[in-house]
Amino acid sequence: MTLQAGHPRRPRRALLLVNPMSRGGAGPLTDALERLDEAGVQLVSVRTRSPTEVTPVIRECRGDVEAVIAAGGDGTLNAAAQGLVETGLPLGILPVGTANDLARTLGLPTDLAAAAAVIAGGHARAIDVGDVNGHLFFNVASLGLSAELAGTLTREHKRRWGRLSYAIAAARVLLRARPFTAEIVDQDGSKTVKTLQIAVGNGRYYGGGNAVAEEARIDDHHLDLYSLEFSAVWKLALLARGFRAGRHGLWSEVRTARDTNFEIRTRKPRPINTDGELVTFTPARFRVHPGAVTVFTPAEPATAGLGAAAAVASRVS
């Protein structure tokens, strides 16, 4: 697909990736598929059962399709990131996961038929992709509380309890949470901190609707970092509303920074969570790939997670 402003056009043939393990992944896609069929989008359907299968499938189909449509949650989209960057194929999203934070950032409808209509509309925007130690992510990469949460929150829990599973797992993690020492390196130098969590966001939303920063955008070519430097875990309860709006940085115990590169070091290796999956360990080097993926989004208006200037109509050539 080549981007050509002013001439939106739907893909004529698309690879459909379906993750039956995601919550709702094997569920009612009928209306969405009918909408795509009515729009003249021919689908090559593949069901993937492991994240490692996704990028090879995209590579294999790159010459036979004009787009990739992913039916799944943030984990499925994360698994597709490398293949999308390598091939340049645009992404359509049918949000059938638990949190659907990338879909929320992009302002996509939760109704699957409506989401299919967005893809059929053909309007696309270039978005940034984050990178930690060579692992790509759309939403947030983090260590500390959220990494422990990712290790506790099983697929079975998410399928059974949905978004409530996050609250249940979070309560368990908080009961045993302890601060740890980390070194944060950015353009302003190095800081040693005592923290409960460090998060580096590429997009706006993560964790089922929390905002990484009030002004965070997925197309601003920057990463947003925060560090929770509370001495008492119970104070996190006071930040609940702040997290939803991305205003937690107003607290003196929350360190924030904005940059294109970060490095985080810890005394012993700590796991890093990217879009809900544990993929690497500290020391961790974070960077942003500006405009690395094109995604189908509503044409108007610009959403909270996208800057207005980033709207680009696309044409499938």
Q: How does pLDDT run along the chain (317 residues), one tens digit per residue?
A: 333 333 457 899 999 999 766 555 445 799 999 999 999 999 999 888 788 999 999 999 999 999 999 999 999 999 999 999 999 999 999 999 888 999 999 999 999 999 999 999 999 999 999 999 999 999 999 999 877 676 555 556 555 555 555 565 565 656 566 889 999 999 999 999 999 999 999 999 988 888 898 889 999 999 999 999 987 666 666 666 666 667 676 566 899 999 999 999 999 999 999 998 889 999 999 999 999 999 999 987 556 678 754 444 343 33
Alpha-carbon gap, residue 141 to 38, rounded angstroms: 38
Question: Which residues touch 103 (CB under 8 Å, ≥6 apart)?
Answer: 93, 95, 110, 115
Q: What is the distance between the alpha carbons of residues 190 and 96, in angstroms, rounded to a whole number? A: 41
Is the separation of the CB atoms in 200 and 273 below 8 Å?
no
